[in-house]
Amino acid sequence: MDRAIGVMTCPYSAIVPWRKACSISPAAAAGGAHQGGTGAGTRRQRAHDHRLSAAAPPSCSVLLASVCNTLDALIDRLIDPPELRPSVHPGRVLSGNFAPTDELPPTRCPVVRGSIPSSLAGGAYVRNGPNPRHRLPGRTHHLFDGDGMLHSLLLPSPPSPTTSPSSLSEPVLCSRYVQTYKYLLERETGTPVFPNFFAGFHGVAGLARAAVMLGRVLAGQIKLKHGFGVANTSVVFFAECLYALCESDIPYSVFISPSTGEVTTLGRCDFDGRLAIAMTAHPKKDPITGELFAFRYSILQPFITYFWFDAAGNKCADVPIFSSEQPSVLHDFAITEHYTIFVESQLVVKPSSGSLVGFDPAKVPRIGVLPRYARDDSEMRWFDVPGFNMLHTTNAWEEAAGDEVVLVAPSHLSLEHMAVGDMELLESRVYMVRVNIRTGAVSRAAVSPESLEYGVVHHGYVAAMGILE
């Protein structure tokens, strides 16, 4: 199975070795809809003891919930109708290749041509992406809004003398929603309860929706202790567990049955109570040490909090980055052998304006370089990189005997479109940025003239030079 580890095909999918991924019994799954596995995890099962109880009916009065629904509908109709903002009109955003799809139970898929590559056999290709369960034609919708749905293609192992007659002989495709607290609550009520965070928080309508959501919280309909993430951004296989990620929440642990291909949500994983609030959807796994490095960003100080996990999944203490001076949107970061790299772009958090995300033309983007195992940010060094508006990283490594950090990442030429949802107008170029830690010199050179984003490298090259040579 190990041969299937670490093959990343895009930021939102991964090949995972399912036999290891299934070391957790599905009997631990929240809801228990799909049971029947064998074996039981140890540390990881305990990590899910804080899993959801969202399937319980909301405790607020039906009348109060109805009032909130009415207020949301009035906001949609009178303050923020989709016709006023075509870039987030659901009829436009949720069309074509982005049209929502239904769940698919495990379905056998015969190989009609060619054969399954031996390097992938016995693994599962898993893709994550937003797929709104509730679609309101009169409510604005951003491409990033929507409940996470996992699409798993389980690939059978090659036949061997020890193969069981009941073993899979054909690939099995299965698509299931990640059963987040939001998903379960809205399934219970039959209607959207949470606002669309990207499209909904805009100007006066954003403030009004925030007030309605606060009313739902005060009424007990929404319990914020369960988070409000949609788990729709990426997947990561780490410490023998598979997680669905979204940066607005902590990871959701998911399970793929090796016997049926069924995809089950195990629960919201707080790593024995050590992970709170949120975690980036693009953590970095060191291919040599097996450690996982991550962070979260916040609208309150510390605006960045850095942390990592050892190879067994034990989380270290948080490292607050107080030298980050204003709340920025940090969607991704990078690691090298000895450093962790953050990039503050001109995309900022502006909750006071009624918008979660805004563009600050006066801000100078900068790169922060921190020793990988720092216990605080006293050794953090920031380097101005004007015009470098990065959302995703491709890779990073060290040169010049460790004096130089090299970061390869796309930079957006017009990031202001992101703030208003005009995704189609985004354009980016991939750059190689060199930061000399000893001299402070910074240089930047385009790698490709094409508009590119979401570039990734094979897991084995993370934090190491090689893929772009």
Which residue from 184, 171, 172 is spatially nearest to 265, judged by alpha carbons? 184
Task: Write phi, then psi, for 418 (nearest 5 degrees).
Answer: -60, -40
Q: In what order do the strands lie in the sheet with 172-177?
A: 7-10, 13-17, 123-130, 148-154, 172-177, 104-108
**Residue 168: Cβ within 10 Å count:** 19
Contact 417, 391 (CB under 8 A): no
The one-letter amino acid code at 100 reads P
Contact, 333 vs 282, CB < 8 A? yes
Instruction: Please give the backbone phi and psi of residue 215, each rounded to the nearest 5 degrees, phi first.
Output: -60, -40
Measured N-to-C along each axis, helices 203-218 and 62-74 cross at an angle, to the nearest 10 degrees, of 180
392: its two tokens: 């995703």
Q: Is 392 annotated as a binding residue?
A: yes
Half-sphere exposure of 177 (CA within 13 A, CB side): 21
Handedness of CA 213, 354, 417, 247 (dihedral sign): negative
Residue type, 405: V
331 annotated to bind ligand:
yes
| 391/384 Cα distance (integer angstroms) | 16
Q: Rounded to whole angstroms, how far apart are CA atoms 6 and 237?
A: 8
Q: Is 89 annotated as a binding residue?
A: no
Asked whether 419 and 347 are in contact (CB, 8 A), the reply is: yes
In the block, tokens 């024995």 appear at: 272
Pairing status of strand 428-436 against strand 404-412? antiparallel
User: Binding site membership for Fe cation: which residues?
Assistant: 282, 331, 392
List, as residue ranges, the binding site: 282, 331, 392
